[in-house]
Amino acid sequence: MKETVIKADRLTKKFGDFIATNEISFEVAKGEIFGFLGANGAGKTTAMRMLCGLSMPSSGEATIAGFDVYKQTEKIKQNIGYMSQKFSLYEDLTVKENIRFYAGIYGMSKAAIKEKTAVLLQQLQLTAEENSLVKSLPLGWKQKLAFSVAILHEPTVVFLDEPTGGVDPVTRREFWNLIYEAAEKGITIFVTTHYMDEAEYCNRVSIMVDGKIEALDSPQNLKRTFNARSMDEVFLQLARNAKRTAD
Amino acid sequence: MKQFIILVRKEFYHIFRDRKSLLIIILMPIVQIILFGFALTNEIKNSNIAVLDHAKDKASTTIIQRLDASRYFNVSLILQGEKEIEAAFKTGKIRLVVVFQQGFRESLLHTNHAQVQLIADASDPNTATTVTTYAANIINDYQKELDHNDQLPYTIEPQIRMLYNPQLKGSYNFVPGVMAMILILIAAMMTSVAIVREKEINTMEVLLVSPLKPLLFIISKAIPYIFLSLVNVVTILIVSVTLLGVPINGNIFLLLGEALLFIITSVSLGLMISTFTKTQQEAQMISLMALLLPTLLLGGFMFPIESMPLPLQIISNIVPSKWFFLIVKNVMIKGLGFTAVWKESLVLVGMSVFLLAISFSKFKTRLA
């Protein structure tokens, strides 16, 4: 059994009477690619925000890299990377300035930033564009850059909130190559998505319906259990019973 | 500290990349001060005036000659009766009517006291003040000459009537006023917009997930605007002194120090606005409505606070610009020292501390 990096135990978030996330429990191992699926409004983003320390849980327990989400949010912040649903680089800064800025707020040294930046730019084939403003880049490049920036400080876990929204299939494939490379380096990937083809790329997948985790297993096992040909069918079988509509 | 430098540098990138806004920030004070300045010092040379001389004696004719000879006035109309005064103003060319009562010289020589009536077109109140003051000065000069010749002092008392706008504003008010206005705009609005923008473009989320300290983030947002505001103060002062001839009578360092204090108050206001707004537009609207409008209406430089109804007078006390306006007027125009403005300064310090305390406690490190 590999080292556990994310551990959630009956984690719950209530907004007044509304239970956004209802007693979810799961564990994610180091280097795992964990897919977090669910329809819009199922509670994915809320769950993820609790794990990142952006949102205080109403009840339940959770630890990230061994740190408690209630008391040790500062430690957690040092150990995670985050890429949000909507693209989050500064459009009026250049590629290089964005990298330097985000690396800087994680307290990386000048030398480390310089070295990492060079490697990253080469890997993304962006060396020629290092002094271009980010707003001039195509969306797919921006997203790949945002991901690379999120893992620049080598976090234990990186949280990706629907990172590939609005991107063409080719770029999505390239994006997933980056995710695999990161996972091989031992970075745990926690990714929400509603592209079912992407769910197939994950080591394990959890499917949330109405604030609860209804299924959690590898894509192969899920397909077998639900007697389905694709993850799409698995998802539809589960989501059909949902009472909540999209937010 | 290294983090801090990185943050501040990034803010300056944002500001310098946005050329249009930067240009507005730099040029706005200059344009404003020139606009206000020329509205105030509007052409008082060679103003056309009319005289109604019931006396037609030596004294009245001398005064009329002197008025005509001065570079401020042209006696362009001789009126024959009171009824023509109104008509003279209605032509729009006459700015001032000087009326001498019958027996002007006699009453001056025998009772040592005579009256001249100065009637001004105060639909343009600034010009009206200026022309009446000039005319009164010329009359006073004449009176002083008479004093030299005789033992007993003669007094000619110019009686001034302002037509159309009996409540006049004072002069020299606009430089301190524009300063308060510009600083509120730049420091408060820009700071709030800069912070709220991070929320709007979602970078705030990423920053909140990072180990960055909120305090550091907030200060780094404020620093560039404090700097730009100081640049504005200096431009306003340079333009006032060189182009408008408004002198800095007090200590320049005290003035700059007080300006810095007011900038900090404004920035605190901006921070507070940013804690409860979600979009840049919202922050902008609130800044304009809640800051600029009270500055203009209750700051004391457009409308004198003393003549407001009591409730408004009380409300005006929570408008920071009111206090800053008093400070600048006292230091810059009247040339007073710190002892004259320490109360007002203390009010601004108190306001800043209060606002900063609220902003820091309300700044959300968590989203929900």
The Cα A57–Cα B211 span in angstroms is 20
Please report which confidence band the pLDDT of residue B143 belongs to, taking 50, 70 and 90 as the band edges.
confident
Per-residue pLDDT, B164:
44
In contact, A37 and A206? CB cutoff 8 Å: yes
Conformation bin of residue B33: beta by default, left when phi > 0, alpha when psi is -120 to 50: alpha
> Which one of A15, A50, A67, A88 makes the best mutation probe of the B interface by having the most chain B beta carbons within 10 Å?
A88
Lowest mean pLDDT among A232-241, B15-24, B168-177, B343-352: B168-177
ipTM score: 0.86
Per-residue pLDDT, B42:
47
Contacts of B18 in chain A (CB under 8 A): 92
Hey, are the CB atoms on A93 and B207 less than 8 Å from each other? no
Closest Cα in chain A to B364: A54
Conformation bin of residue B316: beta by default, left when phi > 0, alpha when psi is -120 to 50: alpha
Q: Is B277 helix (H, G, I), strand (E, B) or coil?
A: coil
Per-residue pLDDT, A171:
86
Question: What residues contact A160, with CB distance under 8 A and at least 6 apart?
Answer: A83, A147, A150, A179, A189, A190, A191, A192
SS (H, E, C) chain A: CCCEEEEEEEEEEEECCEEEEEEEEEEEECCCEEEEEECCCCCHHHHHHHHHCCCCCCEEEEEECCEECCCCHHHHHHHEEEECCCCCCCCCCEHHHHHHHHHHHCCCCHHHHHHHHHHHHHHCCCHHHCCCEHHHCCHHHHHHHHHHHHCCCCCCEEEEECCCCCCCHHHHHHHHHHHHHHHHCCCEEEEEECCHHHHCCCCEEEEEECCEEEEEECHHHHHHHCCCCCHHHHHHHHHCCCCCCCC
Q: Residue B206 is nearest to which of A78, A84, A91, comparing CB atoms?
A: A84
Please report which confidence band the pLDDT of residue B230 belongs to, taking 50, 70 and 90 as the band edges.
very high
> Which one of A92, A94, A148, A152 makes the best mutation probe of the B interface by having the most chain B beta carbons within 10 Å?
A92
Hey, are the CB atoms on B3 and A107 less than 8 Å from each other? yes
> Alpha-carbon Rg of chain A, whole angstroms?
18
The predicted model gives B230-253 an average pLDDT of 87
Phi first, then psi: what are they for B365, rounded to 5°?
-90, -15
pLDDT in tens, A149-188: 999 999 999 999 888 877 888 888 889 999 999 999 999 9
> Which one of B11, B203, B364 makes the best mutation probe of the A interface by having the most chain A beta carbons within 10 Å?
B203
Per-residue pLDDT, A101:
92
Per-residue pLDDT, B134:
83
pLDDT in tens, B71-97: 788 888 888 888 888 888 888 788 889
Hey, are the CB atoms on B203 and A104 less than 8 Å from each other? no
> Which one of B10, B16, B208, B217 makes the best mutation probe of the A interface by having the most chain A beta carbons within 10 Å?
B10
Hey, are the CB atoms on A52 and B7 less than 8 Å from each other? no
Per-residue pLDDT, B255:
93
Per-residue pLDDT, B168:
39
Question: Which residue is it, tokens 């009329």?
Answer: B64
The answer, yes or no, to whether residue B163 has pLDDT greater than 60, is no
Per-residue pLDDT, B175:
80
The predicted model gives A218-240 an average pLDDT of 87
Percentage of chain A exceeding pLDDT 90: 41
Closest Cα in chain B to A48: B209
> Which one of B206, B207, B217 makes the best mutation probe of the A interface by having the most chain A beta carbons within 10 Å?
B206
Q: How far is B274 from chain A (nearest CA, A)?
A: 19
pLDDT in tens, B168-191: 334 466 788 888 988 988 899 999
Contacts of A93 in chain B (CB under 8 A): 10, 13-14, 17
Q: Among residues 135-164 of chain A, which lie with CB inside 8 Å of chain B?
A: 150, 159
Instruction: Give the mean pLDDT of chain B.
Output: 84
Domains of chain B: 47-163 (3.40.1710.10), 172-362 (no CATH)
Percentage of chain B exceeding pLDDT 70: 89
Percentage of chain A exceeding pLDDT 70: 97
The predicted model gives B239-243 an average pLDDT of 84
Closest Cα in chain B to A133: B17
Domains of chain A: 4-89+136-239 (3.40.50.300)
Hey, are the CB atoms on A106 and B211 less than 8 Å from each other? yes
Please report which confidence band the pLDDT of residue B324 belongs to, taking 50, 70 and 90 as the band edges.
very high
Q: Residue A56 is nearest to which of B18, B210, B366, comparing CB atoms?
A: B366
pLDDT in tens, A4-17: 999 999 999 998 88
Q: How far is A209 from chain B (nearest CA, A)?
A: 21
The predicted model gives B344-362 an average pLDDT of 92
Lowest mean pLDDT among A76-80, B79-83, B153-157, B322-326: B153-157
Q: Are strands A157-161 and A80-83 parallel, antiparallel or unpaired?
A: parallel
Please report which confidence band the pLDDT of residue B66 belongs to, taking 50, 70 and 90 as the band edges.
confident
Q: How far is A79 from chain B (nearest CA, A)?
A: 9
Hey, are the CB atoms on A54 and B17 less than 8 Å from each other? no
Q: Residue B13 is nearest to which of A54, A74, A97, comparing CB atoms?
A: A97
Per-residue pLDDT, B33:
81
The predicted model gives B14-32 an average pLDDT of 87
Q: How far is B200 from chain A (nearest CA, A)?
A: 10
Contacts of A150 in chain B (CB under 8 A): 206
Hey, are the CB atoms on B367 and A54 less than 8 Å from each other? yes
Between chain A and chain B, the number of residue pairs with CB atoms below 8 A apart is: 81
Per-residue pLDDT, A11:
92
pLDDT in tens, B93-134: 888 898 988 888 888 877 777 888 888 887 777 778 878 888
pLDDT in tens, B276-295: 888 999 999 999 898 888 88
Per-residue pLDDT, A67:
92
pLDDT in tens, B36-48: 766 655 446 678 8
Please report which confidence band the pLDDT of residue B235 belongs to, taking 50, 70 and 90 as the band edges.
very high
Q: Residue A101 is nearest to which of B6, B17, B205, comparing CB atoms?
A: B6
The Cα B40–Cα B124 span in angstroms is 10
The answer, yes or no, to whether residue A247 has pLDDT greater than 70, is no
Per-residue pLDDT, B336:
86
Contacts of B206 in chain A (CB under 8 A): 82-84, 88, 102, 150
Hey, are the CB atoms on B210 and A91 less than 8 Å from each other? no
Per-residue pLDDT, B166:
40
The predicted model gives A50-70 an average pLDDT of 90
Q: Residue B6 is nearest to which of A53, A82, A105, comparing CB atoms?
A: A105
pLDDT in tens, B259-272: 999 999 999 999 99
Per-residue pLDDT, B37:
67
In contact, A42 and A30? CB cutoff 8 Å: no
Percentage of chain B exceeding pLDDT 90: 23
pLDDT in tens, A112-143: 999 999 999 998 888 888 899 998 988 888 88
Hey, are the CB atoms on A77 and B209 less than 8 Å from each other? yes
Phi first, then psi: what are they for B116, rounded to 5°?
-120, 135
